Structure formats: structure tokens, C-alpha cells
Structure 1
Amino acid sequence: MNPTDLFATRSSRMRASEIRELLKLLDQPDIISFAGGIPDPALFPKAAFAEAYAEILQGPGAGAALQYQVSEGYLPLRRWLAGEMGKLGVPCDAGNIFITSGSQQGLDYLGKLFLSPGDTALVTWPTYLGALQAFNAYEPRYDRLNPDGGNTTPAAYADAAAAAGGRVKLSYLVPDFANPSGATLSKAQREAVLDLSAELGTVVIEDAAYRALRYEGESVPPILALDCARSGGIENARTIYCGSFSKILAPGLRVGWICAPRVVVDKLVLMKQAADLHSPSINQIAIAHVAERAYDAQVSMLIESYRARRDALLGAMEAAMPAGVAWNRPEGGMFAWVTLPEGIDAAELLARSVREARVAFVPGAAFHADGSGRNTLRLSFTLADARAVNEGVPRLAALISSVLDARSAAA
């Protein structure tokens, strides 16, 4: 018997993550990597977690920490998160908070909840690769979400979705310091996304994984906050907010959350019960201990550290990159987005870069639902130490220069 003959049709849309594959390069000490969008482990609040776990396991609640948990998640943690959402302009309570095993599980659950085969998901070009992977299993088609408006009307979106055999179900975006582009949407752009979704009758999935990491500029209200203000409260909102502790406290504990109307949370609870019952109890309790005592201080420390690394990376590119290469200046987050001259394929460049320059990055086509953006790439600066900046950027710039020179010579 060949098991592949029995695979569900959705399995054909499952693809390996280019980023996860590139992370394997971190095991090669001579590789300078700007690839992985991961926090610096040297900055994890290890002492705070050591204290939290010791306190939990040596205290009267040790049994509960090692026991089954309700599927919604640890109640004190959900209450703390509801308070934090309130500070962002989203009045809610613990019943609107659902704990996930990392925000990636949240995206998977939301894809399962809203997408039937042939339905349409609106995503930005580029968008987070993990979201595409999560949604792909539910066999949607993708259409381009343009927060600036563009020429596509709500009727045109709906007609295209109907022609494909489904309907537009959701808009997904990372409005703050997006992965991969580093871009941040203005308040007007966020309002426009809500207007479009209202006309189409769809939900908005707001991925806020990087929101806390702002290095400059004025904060913009979350889409969910704008939605609550116009709809009269979270129970009437169409926006679903996905958060994570991975970028601030510790990704290895796999604790994320969703803030949404209760009707959505109720369905997510049923999915959780069928999938893994609940996220690990002790990890949720430890996150609650550390968040209550050290979250704001941790955010402040990360902002100071990552801002310096962003500035160093941008300065190195300014000094070394050849004419024709462009990049943005992200106001926060973890990524800079680089656009190469037309005709240069970043995937081909990566193969040469790893082989010749020993520098890794992520080609941009992986973040485009239609495979476009081949002349773009993502650089992560969270692990960009002095060697990466002083050696890696000039090596990559020299390789790009050689490619451009060879192209000019052949013209």
C-alpha cells in the first residue's frame, strides 16, 4: 500500500517553510544569518522564569500546574490579557480571551473556522508566510488586499470569489511592523480595511505579534480598537486579534492568545478540545507570573536593544549597498525589506550568497501568495551583532554588486 494515495486533497497544499529550513543554517558557525525572524535568546528573562517555575512547583498550586487545564486557558492569565487589551482601547473581559499554543495555532484554528475549500482570503502582498501555511490546508484562493485602496471594488472581490466557487471570508494582515515588510498601516488604512470588510461581510484577522516593539513614531490604535469604537463593543466587532508572548518573553513556551467576540471564542474552544485539550498548564502559569511582574520592563529593554541593531543594519546598508538597491526604515519589529533591481532573483542570489559570501537571508517570493516579488528579500536584525553588521552586510553588498556588474557587462 502507498499511503500517499490516501492523503486528503489538502495535503497537496502543504509546503515546507523556507524560513524553518533556513534556520538550520544557524548551526553552521561561519554563516552570518539575517534569515530567522527570532528573538535574541540572550535577552530572554531567564532569571524571572527560573523564579516563576520554582515558585510554582514548590508552592501549593504545583498540582494544578501539572494537571489538565480548561481549554480556554489559565484564568488569571486571561484576566491580565483582558486588562492589557483594555489599555489598547479594547474593553473586554476574560471571556473574550482564548489561549493558544503560540499564535501560529491561532491562525490555524481561524483558517479552519472560516475557510471552506474555494473560499477567498484577502492577504497583503507580501504577507506572513506562516499565515499562508496555516490557511493553505483549508484550500482557499487568495486575492490581494491593498490597504491603500486600489482599483479593486468590493463587488469585484465578491465576483472573483464567486467565480472560484466560494466567497470572500476574511482579510488577514499584520498592521504593525509587518512580517516580512516591516511596514505599519496608518489609522486611515486600518479604517479602510474595516470599510472593505464591512461591505464584503467578512472578518478581519489582525496579527499583532510585533505591536509592542515600536522604536520610533506615534502608536496607531489596533484595528480591533477602531472596530469596537465604530461597532459599539467587542461583541459586535468583526476583527479578531491574535497576540503572542513569543517575541517579548519566550517563544519556546508556545503561549499566544486570541481576543475576539465570545461567539468566536466558543467555537475555538471546541477546536482546542478536539486538537490538544489545552495549552500546557505550567507554561501558562509561568507566563502569567512573569508578565505580571516584568512585562513592561522586558519590552523597554528589548526596544532599546533592537532599535540599536536596526539602526546599525540600516547604517551598514547605506554605506555598502550599490545603487539600485532600496530598503525601508521600519518603525519597529524585527525586519527590514529590501528590493533589488528588476531581474535579480533573490532565491538564486541566496544560493550564491550562502555558497560564496556565507550570508543567509529570506527570499521575498515566499511571502507572496502568487509567487511574485522575486526581486525582494527580508533581513532580520534581532540577531544582528557587530560581526553580522560589519562583515555580513558588506559581503552581501559585494555579491549584489558583482551580479549587477556581470549583468551590465552582458548587456
Structure 2
Amino acid sequence: MSPTASLLAQRSSRMTASEIRELLKLLDRPGLISFAGGIPNPALFDMEAFQQAYARALGQAKGGRSSLQYSTSEGYLPLRQWIAEHMATKGVRCEPDNILITCGSQQGLDFVGKLLLDPGDTVVTAAPTYLGALQAFNAYEPRYDTLSGNGTANLLRTSAEVHGSRVKLIYLVPDFANPSGATLDLASRERALDIAGELGCLIVEDAAYTALRYDGEDLPPIAALDQKRRGSIEKSLTLYCGTFSKTLSPGLRVGWVCGPKPLLYRLTLAKQAADLHSSTINQVAMHEVALARFDDQVAAARTCYRERRDVMLASLERHAPDGMVWTRPEGGLFVWVTLPEGIDGRRLLERAVDEQNVAFVPGQAFFPDRSGANTLRLSFSLPDPQTIEEGIARLCTVIRSSLPTRR
């Protein structure tokens, strides 16, 4: 045992490595076809736009040095103004003071957990749900319940009370969710607001993939529906977590939280304690690129990912064995697969890598209760269409050979 082990807080035992981050280490394996990392395709990054943005940020006679200086915890004001205008196009009327710039939306989730969760408090999620959210919240020692299991306010309240708990927040990825690819319809969004109102809890709306719609019509954010009900963002029960990671660049780590000013003030205090502020020059560059290129970059991403999604779905139709089912997402980066009973995703991954040099993410990591052993997540963002076809064929070969024998 390490000599420092006895010094660790009890909550540290709830901090576990991301299975996805560990799988990304496989990407350097020769010949590996990876459907594991749900990361943007680097071919879409606008290198020239960012090079010019950084050059201008550093070359300004008066502002160049300020780009390398400490800044406000709330974030670069022109960027917050752009985000406020962007939110307005989605039906969320807000001011720059309703925006906090974070180091990716992941940091926003951590701050929400720090601000709201006492040990034993209840977090309500979908099942499966985003692994990064579970990691962010786990450090604050909550218990979990699911909308699918206890779908009414009374049942959720009763379930929490049995455990001496209170429901503090509902975490949702309403558009093309990671990992399932599912989208909440309008009635489900309204129902989530009903439940939050009855419980007096917060909704955390993770909008990481909202811009990446390939089919169907845009749906209003939960934050917009909430504001319409309550008349003002200051009365809202929704915190909206946005990011540039899936549209412009993940490496700059620029995201934001949008919500009522009193909550934003508390989140800003958490930001001050964590890192003072996000990188100044990254915010300046992101503002310039967003101002000039956001719509074009979103359009390019949609075209790229739509083709890859369609190829993956068609490949699954051709190669999947009987008993295997999958989602058909309207956007985002993921297809969620349910395997025939008796196949364990973790064991399947070992065989898939060893026998066919193909990788994916086993689904169990996305369930708070660690169920879902016979599920997996496939990402179509990185491989080209030909590689997707080959990889799905290889994967289905392993799945077919793993089917339980019938007697």
C-alpha cells in the first residue's frame, strides 16, 4: 500500500478512471479500427482561421499583451456577448452576465456538482448517461436514480426519502445523447420541467451535441421552454452547459454555463477557486473564429458526420447477426448497440481487439448502477466510410462467434 493511501479522503474512492480515456490509448496500435473515442474529426478543424486568430491576438498594439495576462473569472466579455446572442437564436434570452466561460463543459459539470451536491443527495439521470457527468458528480458522493425507473416526481421523491436523500438535480443530454444517440421529444422535455418544478430541483441541460443535427427539425432547448414558462432566465430552474468542443475545437477547452445570475455568481466563485479563469488567449481566438466561421464549420461537420452515420447504419444492417439491435440517431456522434443476451461487452472488447483489431466502448460504464453489460457504444466521427464498413464487418464477425450456442 502507498504510504499516502491513509491520507486520502473517503470520496477519492469514488474517483475512477474514464474507460473511454483509457481506450484512447489504443489509437496508436497499428491497423486498429477504433469506434471508441467520441472525438471530433481533426480534418474539420479550421487551422488557418485559428492561426490567423492567434496571430491577430498577439499582434494587436494594445491588446496583444493582455491576451497573455490574467483575466476575469467570468470570461472574455466579447465571447460572452457572442454566446448570449447565440443563445437568443435558440430561444434563451440572456445577457453576458448570465454566461460563465468554463474549461470545456466538463468543468461546468464539476462546478455544478460542487455547488449543489452534499453526500447522499440524489442525482436523476437517464440510463445510460454520459460517463463524464458521472465522474464529475461522483466526487461529491451522490446517489443516483433514473427517469426510466422512477418516472414521476412522487416516485422520485419517495425513492430519495427512503434513502434519507433529496433530489437536487436532473441531468439530461436532450439532443443526440452520449452514449445512446437518443433525442428527447418535446413532451419529454416538458415533462422533465414538470418534475423539476414539483421537486424544486435543478435541471442541468448538457447541450454538447445540439448543433450536430442531420435529420428532422430542431427542438427548443429545455432552457428555452423553462424560460417561456417562467418569463425570465432569472426564474429558471435550468442550467445550460454549452461547448465549442464538438463544433470548432476541443483542444482549446472553451465551454460555458448559462443560467440565472445568482447561480452563475456561485459557479464563478467555484471557478475562481479552481483555476482563476480559462485561458485568455484561447477565449480571444475562439471568439474570433466563432464570429467568422461558426455557421460554416457546423455545416461542414454535419455533412461529414451525416455520411459516416449513414454508412455505419447501413453496415450494421448488412453484417449484424440476429438479436442485435441499435439506435438510429438523428444527429451527434454515436450509435448505441444492444447485444444478444449472454454477450458481455467487456469480454467482447478483448476479443475484438485481439482477433479483429477493432475497438469500441463497452456500455456498462454509462450506467450509474453498472448494469448494461450487453451494450456498447460506437462512434462514427473518426473513421472514413470505407474503414467504417470494414470495422463493422470485423466487429460483427466477433459478435457472431460469441453468440451462446443453442442446444
- Assess if the C-alpha contact under 8 Å between 2:307 and 2:385 holds in 1: no
Is residue 83 of structure 2 the alignment partner of residue 81 of structure 1?
yes
Identity of aligned residues (%): 59
2:271 maps to what in 1?
Answer: 272
Separation in 2 of the partners of 1:153 and 1:231? 21
Kindly provide the CA deviation profile for residues 52-85 of structure 1, in whole angstroms up to 9, marking residues without a partner as x.
0011111121111000010000000000000000
Separation in 2 of the partners of 1:282 and 1:151? 45
Q: In the TM superposition, what is the alpha-carbon distance from 1:231 to its structure 2 partner?
A: 0.6
Range moving further from structure 2, 53-62 or 13-22: 53-62
Kindly provide the CA deviation profile for residues 73-106 of structure 1, in whole angstroms up to 9, marking residues without a partner as x.
0000000000000000011110000000011100
Q: In the TM superposition, what is the alpha-carbon distance from 1:264 to its structure 2 partner?
A: 0.7
Q: For structure 2, which runs of at least 5 residues remain unmatched after alignment?
A: none
Q: In the TM superposition, what is the alpha-carbon distance from 1:139 to its structure 2 partner?
A: 0.1
Q: In the TM superposition, what is the alpha-carbon distance from 1:116 to its structure 2 partner?
A: 0.3
- Specify the SS of the correspondent of 1:253: coil
Letter in structure 1 aligned against 2:20: I
Is residue 15 of structure 2 the alignment partner of residue 18 of structure 1?
no
Letter in structure 1 aligned against 2:360: F
1:92 maps to what in 2?
Answer: 94
Separation in 2 of the partners of 1:143 and 1:311? 34
Q: In the TM superposition, what is the alpha-carbon distance from 1:388 to its structure 2 partner?
A: 2.2
Is residue 362 of structure 2 the alignment partner of residue 363 of structure 1?
yes
Is residue 67 of structure 2 the alignment partner of residue 65 of structure 1?
yes
Letter in structure 1 aligned against 2:164: G
1:53 maps to what in 2?
Answer: 54
- Specify the SS of the correspondent of 1:69: coil
Letter in structure 2 aligned against 1:292: L
- Assess if the C-alpha contact under 8 Å between 1:313 and 1:384 holds in 2: no
Matches within 5 A, 1:1-400: 2-60=3-61, 61-146=63-148, 152-400=151-399
- Assess if the C-alpha contact under 8 Å between 1:103 and 1:243 holds in 2: yes
Change in CA separation of 1:41 and 1:278 when aligned onto 2, cut-off 3 Å: same
- Assess if the C-alpha contact under 8 Å between 2:326 and 2:336 holds in 1: yes
- Specify the SS of the correspondent of 1:252: coil
Q: In the TM superposition, what is the alpha-carbon distance from 1:144 to its structure 2 partner?
A: 0.7
Is residue 405 of structure 2 the alignment partner of residue 408 of structure 1?
yes
Q: In the TM superposition, what is the alpha-carbon distance from 1:162 to its structure 2 partner?
A: 2.5
Letter in structure 2 aligned against 1:18: E
- Assess if the C-alpha contact under 8 Å between 2:311 and 2:389 holds in 1: no
Separation in 2 of the partners of 1:247 and 1:226? 24
Q: In the TM superposition, what is the alpha-carbon distance from 1:109 to its structure 2 partner?
A: 0.2
Letter in structure 1 aligned against 2:81: R
- Specify the SS of the correspondent of 1:389: helix
Separation in 2 of the partners of 1:151 and 1:138? 22
Q: In the TM superposition, what is the alpha-carbon distance from 1:152 to its structure 2 partner?
A: 4.4
Range moving further from structure 2, 162-171 or 136-145: 162-171
Q: TM-score, normalised by structure 2?
A: 0.98
Separation in 2 of the partners of 1:173 and 1:180? 12
Kindly provide the CA deviation profile for residues 260-291 of structure 1, in whole angstroms up to 9, marking residues without a partner as x.
00011100111111110000000000000000
Separation in 1 of the partners of 2:290 and 2:235? 29
Q: Structure 1 stretches (4+) deviating beyond 4 angstroms?
A: none
- Specify the SS of the correspondent of 1:205: strand
- Specify the SS of the correspondent of 1:374: coil
- Specify the SS of the correspondent of 2:251: helix
- Assess if the C-alpha contact under 8 Å between 2:380 and 2:388 holds in 1: no
Letter in structure 2 aligned against 1:8: A
Letter in structure 1 aligned against 2:54: Y
- Assess if the C-alpha contact under 8 Å between 1:207 and 1:243 holds in 2: yes
Separation in 2 of the partners of 1:29 and 1:351? 16
- Assess if the C-alpha contact under 8 Å between 1:213 and 1:302 holds in 2: yes
- Assess if the C-alpha contact under 8 Å between 1:34 and 1:380 holds in 2: yes
Separation in 2 of the partners of 1:151 and 1:12? 27
Kindly provide the CA deviation profile for residues 189-211 of structure 1, in whole angstroms up to 9, marking residues without a partner as x.
00000001111110000000000
Separation in 2 of the partners of 1:6 and 1:158? 36
Q: In the TM superposition, what is the alpha-carbon distance from 1:130 to its structure 2 partner?
A: 0.1
Kindly provide the CA deviation profile for residues 378-411 of structure 1, in whole angstroms up to 9, marking residues without a partner as x.
000001213422321111111111112xx225x3
Q: TM-score, normalised by structure 1?
A: 0.97
Separation in 2 of the partners of 1:328 and 1:201? 33
Range moving further from structure 2, 158-167 or 83-92: 158-167
Q: Report the count of equivalent residues.
A: 405
Separation in 1 of the partners of 2:399 and 2:95? 52
Separation in 2 of the partners of 1:386 and 1:86? 36
Separation in 1 of the partners of 2:54 and 2:315? 41
- Specify the SS of the correspondent of 1:161: helix
- Assess if the C-alpha contact under 8 Å between 1:33 and 1:388 holds in 2: no
Change in CA separation of 1:151 and 1:202 when aligned onto 2, cut-off 3 Å: closer
- Assess if the C-alpha contact under 8 Å between 2:74 and 2:277 holds in 1: yes
